Amino acid sequence: MNNSPKQSDSINLIVLSQVCQKTQLGKTSIYSKINPNSKYHDPSFPRSIRISDARIAWIESELNEWIASKIEASRSSAK
């Protein structure tokens, strides 16, 4: 089975500065969330993908789902 996206599927990649803007978290916080050795590691945070030797990106829809889960958790704990 081929798990690669179809031509008609739209996958948007976003870079670190855009992740910071969408989440309102700083670069250090993002790197802490993705670092398994950090005490602030968040295994639910979307994994980055390497797009070149010096650049990583995130799949925007995965980041949006993570943000939605944080909103849901916040709203359900406020009840």
Kind plus residue range of the DSSP H or E element containing 50: strand 49-52
Q: Note if the pTM is more than 0.75.
A: yes
Please check whether residue 62 is in contact with residue 46, taking contact to mean a CB–CB distance below 8 angstroms. Answer: yes
**Paired residues of 55 in beta bridges:** 52
Q: Which residue has the higher pLDDT, 78 or 45?
A: 45
Reported confidence tier of residue 5, pLDDT bands at 50, 70, 90? low
Q: Where are the domains of the chain?
A: 13-77
Residues 58, 64, 66: CA angle, nearest 5 degrees: 90
Q: Say which amino acid occupies 1.
A: M
What is the share, in percent, of the chain residues with pLDDT greater than 90?
81
